[in-house]
Amino acid sequence: MNTAEVLPHVNAALNASACTLLLAARVQIARHRIENHRRLMLGALAVSAVFLVSYLVYHVTAPIFVFRGDGLVRPLYYTLLISHVFLAALALPAILVTAALGWLRRDSMHRRWARWTWPLWVYVSISGVVVYLMLHHLYL
């Protein structure tokens, strides 16, 4: 197997894992379990970092995979893909700032940033999995 065959599946699993960790971390902070929240968020950061490396390796080594859907689903797919890529680019610096504020226990600023960063990160994770499903499973 080569990277074009394996990495899309690995990347989708990493995105789904990051989303699961983000949701669990949200539950923990709502219950004021700060240390559990911190561990889960560090896990989400680690999984997302591995995803980013894997994603870059895939796009450097694999040929372009063309979306095969047609009709109304085609503009829907590209709208989702464009929003995913654009928001992922916005999310990365926001995630790093939010994580740094949390790590430094600048709780008030961390909460302000997290109100925007967390839903953005969740959207990017979920939309990444949906793009993967559309590209590699639904429209072949």
Instruction: Give pTM, 2 decimals.
Output: 0.92
Q: Please say if the pLDDT value at position 1 is more than 70.
A: no
Residues 92-120 have pLDDT tens digits of 999 999 999 999 999 999 999 999 999 99
Token pair 């949200």 in the structure block, residue: 26
pLDDT value of position 62: 85
Domains of the chain: 3-138 (1.20.120.80)
Residues 23-71 have pLDDT tens digits of 999 999 999 999 999 999 999 999 999 999 999 999 898 888 888 889 9
* Burial status of residue 126 (CB atoms within 10 A of its CB: 0-12, 13-18, 19 or more): middle
Residues 51 and 18 sit within 8 Å (Cβ to Cβ): yes
